[in-house]
């Protein structure tokens, strides 16, 4: 009987974790966890690369 209680706790933790990830994904905050889209940064000027061009004029 005690094993069922442990399994129930593990299932609850997994479900809560998945719900947390889903809520973060809905609001686009997965980057806070290091998951999801990351902005590309130019090595030379540190500006954000949009497409394949950088604000400083260099292409990536």
Taking Cα atoms as reference points, which of 59, 35, 31, 29 lies closest to residue 47?
Answer: 59
What are the beta bridge partners of residue 59? Answer: 53
Domain borders along the chain are 1-60
Question: Higher model confidence: residue 3 or residue 37?
Answer: 3
Full-model pTM = 0.47
- For residue 14, the model assigns a pLDDT of 96
For 4-60, write each residue's pLDDT tens digit. Answer: 788 999 999 999 999 988 887 777 666 666 665 667 778 778 777 777 777 777 665
- For residue 38, the model assigns a pLDDT of 64
- For residue 19, the model assigns a pLDDT of 92
Sign, CA dihedral 19-20-21-22, equals: positive
């Amino acid at each position: 009987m005690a094993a069922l209680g442990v399994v129930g706790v593990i299932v609850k933790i997994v479900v809560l974790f998945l719900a947390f990830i889903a809520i973060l994904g809905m609001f686009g905050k997965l980057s806070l966890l290091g998951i999801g889209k990351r902005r590309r940064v130019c090595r030379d000027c540190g500006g954000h690369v949009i497409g394949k061009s950088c604000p400083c004029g260099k292409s990536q």
